[in-house]
Amino acid sequence: MSDSVSDCTERRSAVTEAEVEALVRGICFKTGPPRTLGVEVEWLVHELRRPQLPATPEQLEAAYAALRTLSLRSALTVEPGGQLELSSAPAGSLMECIGSVSADLDAVRAVLREAGLGLSGNGHEPWNPPSRYLREPRYDAMERYLDRTGPEGRAMMCSSASVQVCLDAGYEEPGPLGHGRRWWLANQLGAVLVAAFAHSPLARGHYTGWRSTRQSLWTAMDPGRSAAPPLGGDPRAAWARHVLDAPVMCVRAPEGPWEVPEGLTFREWTRSATPPTRADLDYHLTTLFPPVRPRGHLELRMIDAQPGEDGWIVPLAVTAALFDDPEAAEIAYRTVKPLAERAEGLPAPSNPLWIGAARHGLTDPELREAAVICFAAAAEALPRLGATAEVREAVAEFTDRYVARGRCPADDLLSQFHSQFHGRLHDQSHDQSHDRPQDRSDDRSQNRSHGKDIRT
């Protein structure tokens, strides 16, 4: 969401359909030995003393002005709903990545505390409706475009947060670390990561029926924008076709609102009387949101934001281990290969495998079994990646608390949800038993549940 936007005042130099295909094929997978990784951590911002209250626009404006004075290694950006994102620089090791982002987060939290604000790691805002903070032509156009297919787009823009792991594309040659294998693995193992790290079962104080409500938003959105290209064959050719056949979200303008065309693919735009420029192509690529996005490296976008100040470290460590350690990568590949049948040949995230992961988490027996094997492989690999004892312990604790028990972080929220809901029903029943008889019918009508709400 925070991709940089090219200046729309450049001298126009149109690109042809063939040029677009060649450019995309040339930049989508930069192959070579996997040496670097990165992470993008998004957070919801709220009042420090009352976390159920979002920060006001005035609070956000003042806090972000202060944050921009910090000297950070990570890039700090703001999402449309006011979410804060830190994007690490490419790191040469897992611990370098963790160390730099952790230091940046410490500095960010200190500034926010002074402003009476805090960060929460929820995949979806649990309490409040979507609310736009940024008013920019890009997001105005995006909102208009996404509104055509339903409310999910606004929720994605303004109410969601994630942990995105960025990995090198891999070797040109086949094998456990080859780019073709890693591309396939990311799109299949992604369902296991969705299930294991699901942490967004609530919206507006109600249980949505999904362990990962955030992932359900991507499932419901425009598939031309949020779906993966078909797997199999040459990944470069598949992605180039996908880019050309994806709908154009908007046409940038130097002044005023941006045009939001209807039913225009990028391929059709190249064939029009006013074809796009290279900058238009670069921008178009930032408006595609598949669960795995090839940007030279692989950007894994499917993991919900995690609870706790350091919860983001576990998905980063596990994912890095399963991709960058050859032995763990081979185990992960063999483990998820049988799961691919459940996808029924349909692209993620709108196939039965991914939908089951988002809805059920690790209560799904097959996903639980796969997660147990993959987390064990990751634990074996982490020492080989130089992970410290603290990181290994964090992964072990997550595994014991969730994976081994067929649970995910969303289940903790659901346990609290059901406990508070039934507690409220008990209190209401106790109060009604002491009412005067003539008042009871009125109270019963007032206490009918219109959906389970754990706000007090």
DSSP string of 149-193, one letter each residue: T-THHHHHHHHB-EEEEEE---BSSSSTTBHHHHHHHHHHHHHHH
CA distance 108 to 338: 43
How far is residue 2's CA from residue 388's CA, in Å, rounded to a whole number?
31
At 104, is the secondary structure helix, strand, or coil? helix
Indicate the pTM of the whole model. 0.90
- Alpha-carbon span 24 to 28, nearest angstrom: 6
The reported pLDDT for the residue numbered 455 is 32
Torsion of CA 211, 217, 222, 224, to 10 degrees: -60
- Contact between 221 and 156 under an 8 Å Cβ cutoff? The reply is yes
The C-alpha atoms of residue 128 and residue 131 are separated, in whole angstroms, by 8
Polymer length in residues for the chain = 456
pLDDT at 425: 43
Kindly report, residue by residue over 364-423, the tens digit of the pLDDT.
999 999 999 999 999 999 999 999 999 999 999 999 999 999 999 999 999 988 877 555
Q: For 11, which DSSP code?
A: P
Do the beta carbons of residue 46 and residue 120 sit within 8 Å? yes
Q: What is the predicted pLDDT for the residue at 13?
A: 86
Extract the tokens encoding 91: 């790191």
Element (H or E) spanning 225, and its range?
Answer: helix 223-226
Name residues of the chain where pLDDT drops below 70. Answer: 1-12, 421-456
Q: Are strands 292-294 and 117-120 parallel, antiparallel or unpaired?
A: unpaired
Whole-angstrom distance, CA of residue 288 vs CA of residue 316: 23
Strand locations in 236-385 (E): 292-294, 298-304
Whole-number pLDDT of residue 423: 52
Residue 366 parent element (H or E): helix 365-381
